[in-house]
Chains A and B, each alone.
Chain A
Amino acid sequence: MNREKKVLIYGYGNPGRKDDGMGIKITEMIEEWKNAHDLDQIDIDSNYQLNVEDAEKVSQYNIVIFVDASQEADLTNFRLAEVEPNNQKVEFTMHAVSPAYIVHLCQELFHKKPEAKLLSIKGYRWDFEEGISDSALLNMERAFIFLQCQLQNMLNIEFSEIKCN
C-alpha cells in the first residue's frame, strides 16, 4: 500500500436540491468505505460549494478528487477529468468558484500543484426537495464503484469485493 500519497475527496452541492446532493452523498459513501478498511491516507470534505479558502485545503494533498453533480447534456452517466489550473474560467459569482480556479489559486498562493480531477455525475432533477432521483442514483452508484477502483490504483491497494472490470 502506498501510504505516502495523501488523497482528498471533496464533494460539493446542495442536498436540499435533489440530484445536486450527489457530491456530498458520495463523500459519505467513501467515508464509510474508508473507515471500514482503515484507509487513513484518504480524507473527506464536503460543502455546498467550493470557496476560495479551499485553495489552502487542497494544498495539503497529493491528489484531490472533486465530486459534483452535473447537468451537462452530453454527459451519459459520469466522467472523471483532469482539472487544469485556470484563472479565467470563474463561475458566475465569486462566492462559488470552480475546481480549476481553486487549483490555480493553490499554485499562486501556496505554491503547490496537487494532481486534481473532477468526477462529474449526471443529474436530472434540481428542485427544492431532498433525495436523489432514481436515474441519478444509478449514475452515482456506478460512479462510486469507479471511484473506489481509481483509489485502489492510486494507492496501490486492492479489495476483492470491488469488481473493477
Chain B
Amino acid sequence: MSKKITIEPVTRVEGHGKVTIKLDDLGRVTESRLHIVEFRGFERFVQGRPYWEAPVLVQRLCGICPVSHHLAAAKALDVIVGAGTGEGLTVTGEKVRRLMHYGQFFQSHVLHFFHLSSPDFLFGIDAAPELRNIIAVAQENKDLAYQGIMMRKYGQEVIAATAGKKVHGTGAIPGGVNKNLTLAERDNLLKGPDPMSADKMVEWSLGALDFFKHYHKNNQQMVDNYASFPSNHLSLVRKDGALDIYHGVLRAVDNEGRRILNDVDYQDYNNYIEEEVRNWTYMKFPYLKEYGREKGWYRVGPLARLNVCDFIPTPLAQKEFEEFKAYTKGKPNGMSLHYHWARLIEVLHSAEVMRDLLNDPDLQGNDLVVKGARQGEGVGVIEAPRGTLFHHYKVDDNDLITMANLIVSTTNNNEPMNRAVNATAKAFMNGKQEITEPMMNAVEVAIRAYDPCLSCATHALGQMPLEVTLMNEQDEIIDQKIKG
C-alpha cells in the first residue's frame, strides 16, 4: 500500500511546519513537500499606520531577526522621505546602521550554528534526541557551548547599543538613525570586559570555522552529498561585486556561475521577481520572471551570497572565501550542508566588520538624518541572516501606509527547501517500512541548513509536539506518532 508520512512540526525550525513524504507500494519516495503555516495578514497590520511607525512595528514579525525587518523597513522609508536608496544617508547614519546589522547577523548565525546545528555535527544525525541540544554540547565540548553563548551575547550588546534596546529597537528611523555610538559604548564593545572584546570575537569565529572544517574533513562524503542539487542563487552585492549584507544591487547567477540577473536596482524588484501560489501551502514560491517557474527559482542565504559575490572585503574572511570557492573550482556550490560553511565565513566577516567599524570615528558623528523630496513609494532590501529580505511600502498624502508587501528570506528559499526535503527523503526513506527518529531528524537536518524562520511570535501560544503521520495514497491515516 502506498504511504504518506507527515512530520509535523519541524523541530528547531521557527514557526509551524510539517513535512509530508509519499511512498509508493514498494516503499519508494515519490513526492515530498514542506508545508509552512505562515502568518497571514501582517501586511494588513501595518496598513493605515503612519509610515514612521513601520520600522518598529515590523519587528513584531519575528523575535529572531527583528533588526533585519527594522532596517529593511527603514531603508524603504528612506526612499519615501527623500533620503535616497541606501547611499544618501550621512556617513554616521549608514555606519551605525551597518554596525547594528552586522551585530544582528553575527548573533543570529552564531545561534544557528552553535545551538541548532552543532549537536548534529558533534553527535551525528542519528544520535538520540536527548543529545541533540546545547546542554549535551556543553557536556561534550564546554568551550564550544560557552563561546557560542558569549558570542551571541556580544551580538546582542551591539544591537542594544545601536538600536537603543533589545525589544522594539528604535535606532533606525526614516532618513537615518536617532543616535550615534558613544565613546563609552564603543570602548565597551571594542575592548572588554574579557572575553567580550572585538578581537576575541574574531578569534572565536576562526575557531568555529576550524571546528566545521575538521568535521567536514572527517565526514566529507556525507556533508557534500547531503541534499546536494544545482540551483540559481540570488543576493545583494556591492556595486563592485563585494559581499555586502546591508546595501547593494540585486544579482543572480545560475548553477554554472553565469549572471542571470545583472546587478539591478532593487527598487525595480517587481520587474524581475514573481511569486507563485500553490494550493497545498500558504507560503509562496518566488522565481525570476524571465526564466519562469521551472527554471527561475533560486537559493538565498549564506550559500547563495558566497556563490554570487566576487570577493569578501575583509582579509580573514576573504582567505576563507578563497578556500571555499576553490573547493568547487570556482563554480557555484549546490551542497546544502555547505550553508554551514558559508554561514561561518559570514560570522568571521561580521566579526571583522564590527571590529573595523568600532575603530571608525565616524560612529561618533552627530549628523544623523537626511531628508529630501517626499515620495509616495519605497522599497528596502537587505540581506537578512537567512537571505534576501524585501520590504515595499506605499504611503498616501496623510503619511499613512496604504500598501505593504514583504518577501521574507524563508519564502525566497521555499523551493530549495522543498527540494532538500525530497533529496533527503529519497536518501534516507526509500524502501523503509517504518519511520524512525533518525530518519525524521535527517529530514530536519536538511531543512535546518537553510535556517528557516517563520516567526517566533507564537511562543506564548503553547508548545507544539512533533507529529508523524503515516498515510496511504488516499490520504488515509494508517499510523501516527507524536513526540515532544
Chain A residues positioned under 8 Å from B153 (CB to CB): 53, 56-57
Q: Tell me if B111 and A95 are in contact (CB < 8 A).
A: yes
Contact A46:B456 (CB < 8 A) given known A94-B116, A104-B135? no
Q: Is B139 part of the contact surface with A, judged by Cβ < 8 Å?
A: yes
Which residues from chain A sit less than 8 Å from chain B, CB to CB?
12-17, 19-20, 24, 46-49, 51-53, 55-57, 68-71, 87-88, 90-96, 101, 104-105, 108-109, 123, 126, 128
Tally A-B pairs: CB < 8 A: 120
CB of A51 within 8 A of CB of B152, answer yes
Once the chains bind, are B12 and A94 in contact (CB under 8 Å)? yes
Determine how close the nearest CB of chain A comes to the CB of B463; give it in whole angstroms: 5
Residue B26 CB within 8 A of the other chain? no
Q: Say yes or no: A14 contacts B457, CB within 8 Å.
A: yes
User: With A14-B60, A108-B139 as given contacts, are A24 and B167 in contact (CB-CB < 8 Å)?
Assistant: yes
Contact call B63/A96, Cβ cutoff below 8 A: yes
Q: Which of A68, A88, A95, A126 contacts B64 (CB 8 A)?
A: A95
Interface size class of B (residues with CB under 8 A): 35 or more
CB of B113 to closest CB in A, whole Å: 12
A sample of 17 cross-chain residue pairs with beta-carbon separation below 8 angstroms, ordered by A number, consists of: A12-B459, A14-B60, A14-B460, A15-B168, A47-B166, A48-B457, A49-B456, A55-B149, A68-B460, A70-B460, A71-B460, A93-B11, A94-B116, A94-B133, A105-B134, A126-B460, A128-B60
Q: Are A56 and B150 in contact (CB under 8 A)?
A: yes
Besides A48-B457, A123-B460, 19 other A-B contacts (C-beta < 8 A): A16-B457, A24-B167, A46-B166, A52-B115, A52-B134, A52-B148, A53-B153, A56-B149, A87-B136, A93-B13, A95-B64, A95-B116, A95-B453, A96-B459, A104-B135, A105-B149, A126-B460, A126-B461, A128-B60
* Chain A: minimal CB distance from B386 (Å): 12
Chain B residues positioned under 8 Å from A12 (CB to CB) = 459
Nearest 7 CB-CB pairings of A with B: A48-B63, A16-B60, A53-B153, A87-B135, A20-B460, A92-B464, A53-B152
Residues of B within 8 A of A14 (CB): 60, 63, 456-457, 459-460
